[in-house]
Amino acid sequence: MLAVLSLFLFVNYLDRYALAILLEPIKVELQLSDTQVGLLTGAAFALLYSTLALPVARIAEHRNRTTVLSAAILIWSVATALCGLAGSFMALFAARMLVGAGESGAVSPAQSMIGDAFSLERRGTALAIFSIGGALGTSLAPMIGGYLEAHFGWRGALLFLGSLGVPVALLLLLVVRDPPRGFADRLVARTPPPPVGLAMRRLFSRPAFALLIPGMVAIGLAEYSFFLWLPSYLSRTFGQPAAAIGTSLTLYQGIPLLIGTLLGGVVADRLVLRDRRWLAWLPAAACVFAALTIGVIFTSHSLAGALALLVLPSMALGGYLAPCYAMIQALAGPRSRATAVATLTFAVNLLGLGLGPLMIGTLSDLLHSTYGEQSLRYAFLVVPPIYGLAATFLLLASRFILRDMERAARD
């Protein structure tokens, strides 16, 4: 189950992030501004992705989650192929919205399945292995997208990526069985899930969950800005072609991200045996380290220097994923896990993904008259303080996490 779900998430993130390496040829062909590019990478995807996350999660609470995941991957794969057929900004915007609609059914059902299949002491590693699929998709998207663009153009790249979802959907249906709710916690829930209003009141009555939401929103705001605009920054600043940038990002960003993701889960499982508050302390430390190192990247005037510096925050940013998602699973009852993840998905993507890339694109347009082609470099300097804000919320959440986990178990 875990292997197939990791493959599922790999295709999810590959389709999501491959667009970043294709932005420059798309911008030239469709004659787009940086603000329009920011809308395509952010708001177009986030609008339906966020608003449909909770309704789809409620379906997953009642229905077979494997079926929900299979339908989701088919929808976003078709939509990715439609992006390759778009002939205008509005057509591409609409197709990108459909990608978001399909991907809204990806993370929350899959994570709730893992929460039901693995105990708290093993859940961090399990979620790290699952997250490696996403990290691998993020890592390989620039290289795969750059290679496909170099040989088949940006349209051919998107058409090919859209074809990958069909075999994975079949694999889900044929191989993966939906585990019983609450199985790993020996709390097999045979009653229906609580009504959405009651589930939400319970979740937000726990301060650790209520503080985790703005912390993860801040991470999303910074991370989506950083990852989605970085290929354009390297292209404009250092004049590198898409294929070369893709290979460099896979080596200097992708591999460290993979290592950090796995280490984050394994280390969290070790530390949580001593003190469960490490589920919040570890991602807070990762955010502080990212804030201290990311800003330095954009002061470098050599490509080699920027890429070498990129290794440090990339490894740190992989480390927050597993402990944060393990904390969500622990703060939600067995029948509300998909709802809890969907609530977080709604907030992180509506605000983080919806506003982050748009923020960078708008700042770049505003600064262009002063800094010219270097405007993107200075726009990126807003990212480190946002990571510092995320660390603050996570540290505040750690004060309540022990009590709130007990309340979740009682519920």
Token couple for 131: 């997250």
**Residue among 143, 8, 32 at smallest CA distance from 93:** 32
pLDDT means over runs of 10, the chain (411 residues): 93 87 88 84 80 83 88 93 92 92 86 84 83 85 88 93 92 89 66 76 90 93 86 84 83 88 86 90 94 87 88 89 85 77 81 82 88 86 93 95 86 71
Is 21 within the bounds of a domain? Answer: yes
Token couple for 1: 């189950």
**Spatial separation of the C-alpha atoms in residues 246 and 322, rounded to whole Å:** 26
Q: Buried b / exposed e across 8-34, counting CB within 10 Å, b at 16+?
A: bbbbbbbbbbbbbbbbbbbbeebebeb
Query: In 3-state terms, what secondary structure has residue 203?
Result: helix
User: Residue 300 carries which DSSP code?
Assistant: -
**Spatial separation of the C-alpha atoms in residues 309 and 99, rounded to whole Å:** 32
Distances (CA, A) of 288 to 168, 253, 305, 356: 37, 18, 21, 19
**Spatial separation of the C-alpha atoms in residues 207 and 306, rounded to whole Å:** 39
Query: In 3-state terms, what secondary structure has residue 241?
Result: coil
Give the total number of structural domains in the chain: 1
Token couple for 38: 């920011």
**Spatial separation of the C-alpha atoms in residues 224 and 50, rounded to whole Å:** 14
Burial (Cβ within 10 Å: 0-12, 13-18, ≥19) of residue 368:
middle
- Give the CATH number of the domain where residue 240 resides: 1.20.1250.20
Is 19 within the bounds of a domain? Answer: yes
Q: What share of the chain is helix, strand, coil (3-state, %, to 5)?
A: 85, 0, 15
The model carries a pTM of 0.72
**Spatial separation of the C-alpha atoms in residues 344 and 404, rounded to whole Å:** 17
DSSP E strands in 173-233: the ranges are none
Position 184 scores a pLDDT of 67
Which H/E stretch holds residue 5?
A: helix 2-30
Is 405 within the bounds of a domain? Answer: yes
Is 186 within the bounds of a domain? Answer: no
Is 12 within the bounds of a domain? Answer: yes
Output phi, psi for 408, to 5 deg: -65, -40
Token couple for 318: 């992989």
CB 318 within 8 A of CB 264: yes
CB 253 within 8 A of CB 140: no
Is 184 within the bounds of a domain? Answer: no
CB 306 within 8 A of CB 300: yes
Burial (Cβ within 10 Å: 0-12, 13-18, ≥19) of residue 367:
middle
CB 276 within 8 A of CB 124: no
Is 187 within the bounds of a domain? Answer: no
Position 187 scores a pLDDT of 61
Query: What is the dihedral sign for C-alpha 12, 114, 252, 33?
Result: positive
- Give the residue numbers spanning the domain of 127: 2-179+195-410
